[in-house]
Structure 1
Amino acid sequence: MKWLEGFQKLSSVLFILTFQGANCQLAVFPIGPALVNALAGSNVTLAVSFRGAPDPVLTWFKGNLPVGTWTLNSSSPPDIADGSRDVLRIENNGSLTFKGVPKHFSGNYTVELTKSGLGQALVTFTLKIFESIQNVTLSTQPDFAQEGAERFTLQYTMLQGVVEQEIWYFNGGKLKNSTRYLIKGRSLVILEPTRTDKGSYSVLLMNPFSSVTTHRNVTVLYGPDEPIVEALPAQPFYKVGDSLVFSCQAEGFPKPTAEWVFMGQILSDFHQGVLNLTNVQTSQGGVYTCSVLNGLTEEKREKNVTLNVYGM
Structure 2
Amino acid sequence: MDSDMSMHASYAFKHTCWGILLLFLAGGVADCSVVVTVSGPHVAKVGSNVTLNVFITGATRPTIVWAMGDIPVVTWTLGSSSPPDILDPGGVLSIERDGSLSFHNVLLNYSATYTIRVVELGVGSNTSTFTLRVFERPSGDPMCSVTGVNGNQDLQYRCQWAGGTPEAQLSFPVLNATSSGSGDFNLTRKPSQDLNGKEVTCVASHPFLQRNCSVTARGPADFQPLVSSMVDADKKLVITIACASTSLPVATVTWSKGNQILTSGGRYQISSNTTLLFILDFHLNSTELGTYTCNAVNILGNQTNDVSVLGPTVSDLGLFPNQEGTMVTLTWETPRTSVITGFEVQMMGPSLLPSPGGRQRRKRATNEFGTIQEKPSSARSTNISGLDPKATYRFRVIPTAGATRGQPSKELRAGPGGGLSGPAIAGIAAGIPCGILLILIIIALIILCVVWRRKRRQTRYPVSRAVEKVVATQPNLNTPHTLLTGGLKTSAGPPDYSVHLASERSSTLPSVVSPPPVRMATTV
TM-score by length of 2: 0.32
1:18 equivalent in structure 2: none
Q: Which residue of 2 aligns with 1:122?
A: 127
Question: Which amino acid is 1:203 matched to?
Answer: V
Are the aligned partners of 2:167 and 2:183 in contact in 1 as well (CA < 8 Å)? Answer: no
Bigger helix share: 2
- Are 1:25 and 2:33 counterparts? yes
Displacement of 1:189: 4.1
Distance 1:132 1:150 in 2: 33
1:214 equivalent to 2:218? Answer no
Aligned residue identity for 1:212: R
Q: Where does the alignment leave 5 or more consecutive residues of structure 2 unmatched?
A: 1-30, 220-248, 252-258, 260-296, 300-524
Offset, 1:167:
4.9
Deviations 1:236-281 (A, max 9, x none): xxxxxxxxxxxxxxxxx999xxxxxxxxxxxx9xxxxxxxxxxxxx
CA-CA distance at 1:145 after TM superposition = 4.3
Aligned counterparts of 1:48 and 1:164: Cα–Cα separation in 2? 32
1:166 equivalent in alignment to 2:169: yes
* Aligned CA distance change for structure 1 residues 185 and 206 (closer, same or farther; 3 Å): closer
C-alpha deviation, 1:124, in angstroms: 1.8
How many residues end up aligned between the 2 structures? 196
1:147 touches 1:194 (CA, 8 Å); kept in 2?
no
Aligned-CA RMSD value: 4.1
Contact 2:74/2:85, CA 8 A, preserved across alignment = yes
Mapped pair 1:195 → 2:191: yes
Contact 1:144–1:218 at 8 Å: present in 2 too?
Answer: no
Distance 1:254 1:74 in 2: 71
How far residue 98 of structure 1 moved from its aligned partner, in angstroms, is: 1.0
How much has 1:88 moved relative to structure 2? 0.8
Are 2:72 and 1:66 aligned? yes
8 A contact 1:114–1:120 mirrored in 2? yes
- Is 1:136 equivalent to 2:144 in the alignment? no
The correspondence for 2:182, drawn from 176, 185, 194, is 185
Give the Cα–Cα distance (whole angstroms) in 2 for the partners of residues 218 and 63 of structure 1.
51
Which position in structure 1 is the counterpart of 2:355? none
How many Å apart are 1:96 and its aligned residue? 0.4
Consecutive unaligned residues of structure 1, counting only runs of 5 or more, are 1-22, 178-182, 221-252, 256-267, 269-294, 298-312
Distance (whole Å) between structure 1 residues aligned to residue 298 and residue 211 of structure 2? 34
Q: CA deviation at 1:296?
A: 7.1
- 2:366 aligns to what? none
Contact residue 35 and residue 56 of structure 2 kept, 8 A: yes
Q: Deviations over 1:196-246 (max 9, x none)?
A: 6945141323333x33222233579xxxxxxxxxxxxxxxxxxxxxxxxxx
| d(CA) in 1 for partners of 2:121, 2:70 | 22
The structural deviation recorded for 1:100 is 1.9
Query: Is the Cα contact below 8 Å between 1:105 and 1:129 reproduced in 2?
Result: yes
Query: Which runs of structure 2 are paired with 1:214-253 in the superposition (5 Å)?
Result: 214-218=213-217
CA–CA distance in structure 2, aligned partners of residues 117 and 153 of structure 1: 68
Against the structure 1 CA distance between its residues 29 and 185, is the aligned structure 2 distance closer, same or farther, given a 3 Å change threshold?
same
**Residue 100 (structure 1) aligned with residue 115 (structure 2):** no
Matched position secondary structure for 2:129: strand
Give the partner amino acid of 1:120: S
CA contact (8 A) 1:112 1:121 kept: yes
Query: Which protein has the larger Cα radius of gyration, Structure 1 or Structure 2?
Result: 2
Residue equivalent to 2:96: 91
**Cα shift at 1:108:** 2.0
Q: Give the drift of 1:128.
A: 2.6
Q: Distance in 2 between matches of 1:121 and 1:154?
A: 53
Provide the C-alpha distance between the structure 2 equivalents of 1:150 and 1:118, rounded to a whole number of angstroms.
Answer: 74
Report sequence identity in percent: 28
1:205 aligns with 2:209: no
> In structure 2, how many angstroms separate the alpha carbons of the residues matched to 1:151 and 1:118?
72
**Deviation, structure 1 residue 80:** 0.7
Deviation at 1:56, TM superposition (A): 1.5
Q: Separation in 2 of the partners of 1:62 and 1:87? A: 13
CA offsets per residue over residues 74-129 of structure 1, 9 Å max, x none?
22211111414x21111111100111222332222221212335543222222233
TM-score (norm 1): 0.50
Output the amino acid matched with 2:214.
Answer: H
Whether the 8 Å CA contact 1:69–1:79 is kept in 2: the answer is yes
Q: 2:161 aligns with which of 157, 161, 170?
A: 157
Q: Give distance in 2, aligned partners of 1:47 and 1:219.
A: 56
